[in-house]
Amino acid sequence: MVRIDSLEFAYKKKAVFEGLNLELKAGHIYGLLGKNGTGKSTLLRTMMGLLFPDNGIVNVFGYTPSRRQPAFLQEVFMVAEEFYFPPVSVEKYVKCNAPFYPAFNHEQFWYLLQEFEIPRGNQLDQMSYGQKKKVLIAFALSCNTRLLLMDEPTNGLDIMSKSQFRKVMAGVATEDKCIIISTHQVRDLETLIDFITIMDNGTIRFHHHIEQIQRILQFGFSFEKTLPEDTIYSEGALTGHAFIRKVENSKENTGKIDLEMLYKAVNLKGDAIYAAFAADV
Amino acid sequence: MNQLFSLKRWLQLMRRHWIENSKFFLISTLALLGVIAIAYLFLLANNHHYEAYSELILYLIGLYLVGSIFASGAFDPLQKKERGMAYLTLPASHFEKLLTQIFFNLIFFTLVYSLCFYAMSELFEFIAKSRAAAEPLKYHFKPLDWKNPYGIMDITHYFLLIFFGVQALFLAGSIYFKRFSFIFTTIVLALFVMFLGYYLNRIQGGLLKGYYGSGASLRTLDPSAKIYRLPAAMVFTLKWVMLLGWAPLFWLVAWFRLREKEI
């Protein structure tokens, strides 16, 4: 669905991507993780056609995003971290924007808005940031585009709203859609994501399916002072140590993945993690 | 699906633009009526001899000034990241987006401005006429007589045609300049006019020494020498290209710039 080959991109003289390769398929929710300034938002904007590659190929279901053709734009939607709403009511917003998306589902939109507890007739410019974000998420999901890009979607949402977000997201993931969520708040999305992509310095450092991670890595906690010999990564907690080690027998694995710890492990003990995955191949 | 233009999509875009900006248009129209009324009040208060010709001058000055300001805000969404992203990712072609702006600037603005001006003109002419009728020795009213034109009356239509070019320049400027597009475009326009003046007076005089231009003809200083004249058809074509060509040229520039806009 999304194929990126040898992507090179720079802001003036600051290089962001120098030969980035990535392939994303339909039917998955990708979690795009990375430090600030590693190029996550730039990557999403390149896929959306808002930034143009200096070199390389970005192909989204056969289209070149930078051409911003209507046929392409009606099949993608981006929930940006910073977004804009005109000073109109929710109803008017939907009335004048929904016709641009052929698969837009009005019933779904009003249902999602109800789930998010947003009153129907409210003026968009009088809503709080969190409420506006929920309207945008509901609109984005109701567009039913083949590609949905979300940049920090849970930023600004309260605890209840995050839970509502997870619930609605779980209901929209289908075989024909590809959802990419860029976030720092990994714990918000632990149960949603089925593919983890970690970026660093404009390169993809880790790109694996949850099932593969479960097959290879075990996330555990030890109350003892000593850790298992085959520990790849560990960090101290108040009562013991959380650790990651290579699974000996995948059947014994509990399946629980601590995304935050995995992210740290990739960044701090990258070689050991890669070695574990290389052995699986 | 046509990727360049679809009537259905364009009408949807026009409808969206209207719905999202109707409040702004209403407030702007009221403000415009207020500004025109203030200008008319000055005209009325300072003249015992009220000439409708002054209204024509006022109309043209206002048209250029307000039209330029309005056009320089045409692509305002692109000046802010969040608005620009929503605008550029809206499923419509760059051509349709530009055409919507051209419609609202060229037709909608000119129509609304002219209607506002006409309404105020009728009101203040009525006041001026009533005043002149009540005190004929003190006040006079002179209507516009298009059968006996004077001043710029017989070239008013040229000013209107050039206005579309100026407006198109400000429209292109609103994409080109990220901030203060009105100021920067005004500077560009001023530089262009200054260059044109300089070219006509100095460069042309230097390059074509011994000749002087007169309309579309080039004459020698020696009255007995040859006179060079462009063919009438070419004069006609050049004249209308110069009058009407600016707007399409700047629209084309705006279209290319919109296509390559990154946020």
Kindly report the nearest CA distance between residue B3 and chain A, in angstroms: 6
**What token pair was written down for B199?**
């070219």
Residue A216 corresponds to which amino acid?
A: I
pLDDT of residue B148: 86
**Residues found in chain A:** 281
When CB atoms are compared, the residue of A69, A77, A99 closest to B12 is A99
Q: What is the ipTM of this complex?
A: 0.92
State yes or no: pLDDT of A281 exceeds 60. no
Q: Which residue has the higher pLDDT, A250 or B210?
A: B210
Question: Is this structure's pTM higher than 0.80?
Answer: yes
When CB atoms are compared, the residue of B80, B89, B91 closest to A50 is B89
pLDDT of residue A253: 62
Residue A160 corresponds to which amino acid?
A: M
State yes or no: pLDDT of B215 exceeds 70. no
Domains of chain A by range and CATH? 2-201 (3.40.50.300), 210-278 (no CATH)
Structure confidence at residue A48 as a pLDDT band (50, 70, 90): very high
Q: How far is CA B90 from CA A86, A104, B97, in A?
A: 14, 14, 9
Run of H or E including B34: helix B7-46
Q: In what order do the strands lie in the sheet with A178-182?
A: A76-79, A147-151, A178-182, A28-34, A195-200, A203-209
Closest CA to B166 of B182, B142, B143, B144: B182
- All residues of chain B having their beta carbon less than 8 Å from the beta carbon of residue A84 are 77, 80, 82-83, 85-86
Contact B89 A48 (CB under 8 A): yes
What beta strand segments (E) does chain A contain?
A: 2-11, 14-24, 28-34, 55-60, 76-79, 147-151, 178-182, 195-200, 203-209, 217-222, 231-236, 241-246
- The average pLDDT across A158-164 equals 90
Give yes or no for B7 touching A (CB within 8 A): no
- The average pLDDT across B31-51 equals 91
Contact A84 B86 (CB under 8 A): yes
Task: Convert the pLDDT of each residue in B77-122 to its tens digit.
Answer: 999 999 999 999 999 999 999 999 999 999 999 999 999 999 999 9
Contact B90 A83 (CB under 8 A): no
Q: Are strands A231-236 and A14-24 parallel, antiparallel or unpaired?
A: unpaired
Task: Convert the pLDDT of each residue in A75-113 to its tens digit.
Answer: 999 999 999 999 999 999 999 999 999 999 999 999 999
Give dist(CA A24, CA A5) in Å, integer. Answer: 12
Kindly report the nearest CA distance between residue A86 and chain B, in angstroms: 6
